[in-house]
Amino acid sequence: MIEMDYFMELNSIEAEIKSRKARKVLLQFPEGLQSSAVKISKALKLATGAEIVISADPCWGGCDLAENAALKLGADLLVHFGHSPWPKKPKVPTLFIEVRSDIEVREVVLRAIGFLSAKKIGIATTVQHIHKLNEIKTLLEEKGFEILVGKPSGRAKYVGQILGCDLSSVKKINVDQFLFVGGGTFHPLGIALATGKRVIAADPFSGKVTDMSEETKRVLMQRYAQIAKAKNAERFGVVIGLKFGQINLKFARQIKEKIESEGREAYLIACEEINPERFYGLEDIEALVITACPRIVIEDGPRFKIPVITPMELDILLGVRKWEGIIGEETFGYKELSRL
């Protein structure tokens, strides 16, 4: 077993390599786990004798599987660390290793209680802390709260688990507030946008507790501004993400047709890494509609020189949907990705 801030069992990986008689194995890690890559590579090499290759490309989730890299390298097995399995079947034999965080959550949850102003609370987390969910539930119930945990109906695997593009577990329960336990602000922001409820984020890594209300307002103002900037655009780029779990050409075509039916121009644009630098040369494009991960729009959108909007925001721009309906959608209208 490899132990750091996270713990992972390597026996299942060794057994899989041996059972498949794999001679070349590609390891893929999210950024937070790359510090373990050399230790794991060395351990697997000694245990199996296989050639181990470490992917140094960024990885943002189970949707960002290094399938193409594995095919190019002729890997017999791809081992993806840190995320639960993706519903789509890869072209390369793949082993998903769900890495769990060993950090304690009790202290930060107790601190978060002071931020909870209601008794009926929904709780959610990511796969790294999913094994702590019962502890969190019990701790809050002992303090007199009624706790509900939702069952997902999309890509998420566990009760109470959320992904950036699957917030079904929080949308299924009727509560007054939510408590999210985990790192960062993207996931609790997604809960706030998907439910319209007050969300408290408890980060066990930093020990910080945050009321997401102000951040939610800030992002909504930012999104409104992006829609307003794109209002007069005549030439749109409809961006297709080429990552394993983000490709949706059919949906992109539908968006293109919708734009063209309004008398504007639309062009399909495909790329692996969607960032501002990719579009510097496409000077004729005046606005982008992103059909890939919602994180690109919400977190990276302000870095683009031109407006970057979601499919649902396009509907608002075209007058098909009202701005008031934006709250309550799964991260600004990415339900369509569930059809991938």
How large a percentage of the chain has pLDDT more than 70? 92
Predicted confidence (pLDDT) at residue 70 exceeds the cutoff of 70: yes
The token pair at 237 is: 């780029």
**Residues sharing a CB contact under 8 Å with residue 194, sequence separation 6 or more, in sequence order:** 167, 170, 171, 328, 329, 330, 331
Assess contact for 26 and 69: CB atoms under 8 A.
Answer: yes
How large a percentage of the chain has pLDDT more than 90? 72
Q: Give the single-character DSSP code of 150.
A: P
Predicted confidence (pLDDT) at residue 20 exceeds the cutoff of 50: yes
What pLDDT, in 10s, does the model give residues 30-49? 988 888 899 999 999 999 99
- pTM for the full predicted model: 0.85
What pLDDT, in 10s, does the model give residues 139-163? 999 999 999 999 998 888 999 999 8
Cα gap 196→331, rounded to integer Å: 11
Average pLDDT of the chain, as a whole number: 90
Helix (H) or strand (E) holding 190: helix 186-195
Assess contact for 314 and 255: CB atoms under 8 A.
Answer: yes
What pLDDT, in 10s, does the model give residues 72-124? 999 999 999 988 888 889 999 999 998 888 899 999 999 999 999 999 999 99
Cα gap 142→258, rounded to integer Å: 52
> What integer pLDDT is reported at residue 326 of this predicted model?
59
> What integer pLDDT is reported at residue 298 of this predicted model?
87
Cα gap 191→339, rounded to integer Å: 21
C-alpha dist (Å) from residue 11 to 3, 62, 80, 98, 193? 14, 21, 15, 13, 40
> What integer pLDDT is reported at residue 85 of this predicted model?
87
Cα gap 330→11, rounded to integer Å: 37
> What integer pLDDT is reported at residue 33 of this predicted model?
87
CA within 13 Å, CB half, 337: 32
pLDDT, average across residues 268-291: 94
Q: Strands across the sheet with 146-148, in order?
A: 146-148, 120-125, 177-181, 198-202, 209-211
> What integer pLDDT is reported at residue 150 of this predicted model?
96
pLDDT, average across residues 52-75: 93
Cα gap 181→207, rounded to integer Å: 10
What pLDDT, in 10s, does the model give residues 177-218? 999 999 999 999 999 988 999 999 999 999 999 999 999 999
> What integer pLDDT is reported at residue 153 of this predicted model?
87
